[in-house]
Amino acid sequence: MTAGTLTPPAAAPLRAGKRYPVSLVIGLVGLGFILLLAIVAPMIWGSAAEAGSGDLRTGPSAEHWFGTDSQGRDVLIRTLVATRLTLIMGVIATGIAVVLGGLIGALLVVSGNRVRWFGARAIDLWLALPPIIVALAVTAIFRPNEVTVVIAIGIAFSPQFARLTNNLASSVGAKDFVVTAHLLGVPGPTVLFRHVIPNIASPVLVLTSVCLSTSIITMSGLSFIGLGVQPPAIDWGQLLASGLRDIYQNPSGAIAPSLAIVLTGLSASLIGDGFVALSEPRRIQPRARKVVRAAAPAVPVEINAASTLAAATAAGRAPALDVRDLRVQVGQSGEGAQLVRGISLTVGAGEIVGLVGESGSGKSITAMTAAQLLPPELAWDAASLDVASHALSSSSVPPTALALDLGIVFQDPSSCFNPARKLGAQLTESIRVHKKVPKQEAERLAIQKLREARVTEPELRMRQYPHELSGGMRQRAMIAMALITTPKLLIADEPTTALDVTVQADVLRLIKQINRDHDMAVLLISHDIDVIAAMCDRVYVMYRGEIIEHLTAAQLRDREVTQPYTEKLLAASASTALEGAVYRANANGGSPA
């Protein structure tokens, strides 16, 4: 066996800079410019905005870019000065909506079922009314002025925040970490500010930016019809109404306040879109990365196995799994924690390849990336990622490809089966949906796969619910479900963790037998290095998101390793009855001794 070297990637690649969504950058620049005008315009042009001239209702000129109004005042200067009051009112109205709506939504979460039901129906009715109608009703009842307009708009938009806060807080409040915090005696306010609010803040921020835009537009509409800001105070809506009254004498008089309203609303909306992109990083498709490697030369890692691709490819067939330079990180910006750091591995057709390492080393994340089952908050990138001859980096891969060519066996079948559906419906679902197999034929195939998985009385099991089976039977049923489409690759992610030692040996023998009978490639993930050594043809050792060693199973069993971490794994392991049973299974062709 020849030896080679593998140069691992630098531990912390340096990126050219954090990538923000373009919409967020444009929105922040636009709103920042408007905010600057709101601060400086009244100080510079405050008196000029009230100073009239003899030029009444004149059109655009070098002195007055947007002309003058009915009293000879410069329209552009008055628009700039009105920015401060308009923004202040919009921000306060949005703040009232956020606080009032958030308080109502939070109170409904902690209320009884009856109060929660009536509260939800009241919010539904409230939302059915357009905000402008609610604001009109409030300002018509009370005296129209700045305070009334702000309160009216805050009340009009508060049900949107009440609905959002209620839904999000109810969802987060049922999470395990919140329930655990309550059980540990963490005070309610601490749970609220430490666990609940941070997990609902992103959607609320998005709605807040949109609400700011809509509030300014609504407020301008009220002022336009005379129910908003009253003279001598000025805002954009009042200036727009004045410009439209004089439109035949000065057609440009309405353009300046209209542009101000549109640009402010557009900037706030772009900020909202940017927040959405930041909170859902996978919505942004990864661009080709420009990675600046650390200047220090990498230290080569000795590999006591033949070339990965040559060892993995049998009889000229394409590998079932081929991963090159895979990276998985939290978020899309490039500065989140890297969970997988530039790993490469290959599983040849008909091979059993092991991926071993301690908990948290990145084994399951690597497998879930190949299966395209990563949670939304994680993003991946790779030079290439081919699963069953499907290049996942290509947009041409059909959505059903992995459903037919990839099977997965998870750690705990109890959490993977639907407890409300019988096993038969769950086992036949994939071939009925993706292959359009008739119901009777699908049930026949499912019973056949259950027999292959050594499930007793398969016809009876098809009519049972998952809870009616023992742990070992549920795991065998999951293996049968993974095999029903005859996949090219089977990913077994800690398939025996939740089982006792005797059942573990049976399940491992079954996986070995399936590999031999169907010539199916298997990626076996485990933290038990003895099981990996007994089951696999080749082994990858993973540590802190990197593959640090690649060995044949014989080298691993003979302790021919070079990495201290692998030596520690071997030293920590002990010969068990499970290892002996698996070795005997291999020696006897998959049958117990």
Tens-digit pLDDT profile for residues 480-499: 888 888 888 999 888 877 67
CA distances from 145 to 87, 228, 551 (A): 16, 6, 78
| Res 308: pLDDT | 45
Burial of residue 42 (number of CB atoms within 10 Å: 0-12, 13-18, 19+):
middle
Q: Residue 317: is its pLDDT beyond 70?
A: no
Contact 539, 347 (CB under 8 A): no
Joined together, the tokens standing for residue 255 give 């353009």
How does pLDDT run across 245-266, given as a tens digit for each residue? 777 777 777 788 888 888 888 8
**Confidence grade of residue 523 (pLDDT, cut at 50, 70, 90):** very high
Place of tokens 């949107």: 160
Q: Where in the chain is the domain with CATH 1.10.3720.10?
A: 22-49+76-280
Amino acid identity, position 454: R
For domain 22-49+76-280, give the fold: MetI-like fold (1.10.3720)
Q: Where in the chain is the domain with CATH 3.40.50.300?
A: 304-389+488-587
* Closest by Cα among 567, 518, 550, 557 to 535: 557
pLDDT tens-digit profile of 283-310?
Answer: 444 443 333 333 333 333 444 444 444 4
- Residue 318, pLDDT > 60, answer yes
Q: How far is CA 484 from CA 65, 432, 469, 516, in A?
A: 74, 11, 19, 16
Q: Does pLDDT of 131 surpass 60? A: yes
pLDDT at 589: 53
Of 1-10, 324-333, 444-453, least confident by mean pLDDT is 1-10
Share of the chain above pLDDT 90, in %: 5
Any idea which of 6-15, 167-176, 359-368, 472-481 has the lowest mean pLDDT? 6-15
Q: How confident is the model at residue 114 (pLDDT cuts 50, 70, 90)?
A: confident
Residue 9 pLDDT grade (very low, low, confident, very high; cuts 50, 70, 90):
very low
Task: Please state, in angstroms and as integers, the Cα–Cα distance from residue 143 to each residue in 69, 140, 227, 335, following that order.
Answer: 27, 7, 9, 52
| Better-scored residue on pLDDT, 116 or 592 | 116
Predicted local distance difference test score (pLDDT) of residue 498: 63
pLDDT, mean of residues 69-88: 81
**84-88, 214-218, 460-464: which is most confident:** 460-464
**Whose CA is closest to 499, among 424, 578, 426, 419?**
578
Percentage of the chain beyond pLDDT 70 is 83
pLDDT over threshold 70, residue 16: no
Q: What pLDDT, on the 0 to 100 scale, is given for residue 441?
A: 92
Instruction: Indicate the pLDDT class of residue 139, thresholds 50, 70 and 90.
Output: confident
Give backbone dihedrals phi and psi of 541, rounded to 5 degrees, phi first. Answer: -100, 125
Angle at 520 between CA 515 and CA 525, to 5 degrees: 75
pLDDT reported for residue 444: 92
Cβ-contact 491, 371 below 8 angstroms: yes
Range of weakest confidence among 177-181, 238-242, 565-569, 574-578: 574-578
Confidence of residue 15 (pLDDT cuts 50, 70, 90): very low
Question: Which pLDDT band holds residue 2 (cuts at 50, 70, 90)?
Answer: very low
- What pLDDT, on a 0 to 100 scale, did the predictor assign at position 353? 92
* pLDDT attached to residue 555: 86
The chain-wide mean pLDDT, for the chain, equals: 78
Q: How confident is the model at residue 312 (pLDDT cuts 50, 70, 90)?
A: very low
pLDDT at 593 over 60: no
- Mean per-residue pLDDT, 21-26: 83
Query: Which among 68-72, 313-317, 548-552 has the top mean pLDDT?
Result: 548-552
More confident residue, 418 or 111: 418
* 475 neighbors 507 (Cβ within 8 angstroms): yes
- pLDDT category at 540 given cuts 50, 70, 90 is very high
pLDDT at 591 over 50: no
pLDDT value of residue 586: 58
Structure-token pair, residue 51? 């100073």
Average pLDDT over residues 412-434: 85
Is the pLDDT score of 345 beyond 60? yes
User: For domain 304-389+488-587, which CATH number applies: 2.40.50.140, 3.40.640.10, 3.40.50.300, 3.40.140.10?
Assistant: 3.40.50.300
Structure tokens at 506: 């049976």
Nearest-angstrom CA–CA distance, 174 and 191: 12
Mean pLDDT of all residues in 362-367? 89
Report which listed range, 214-228, 527-541, 561-575, is most confident.
Answer: 527-541
Residue 211: pLDDT band (50, 70, 90) is confident
Q: Which is more confidently placed, 137 or 583?
A: 137
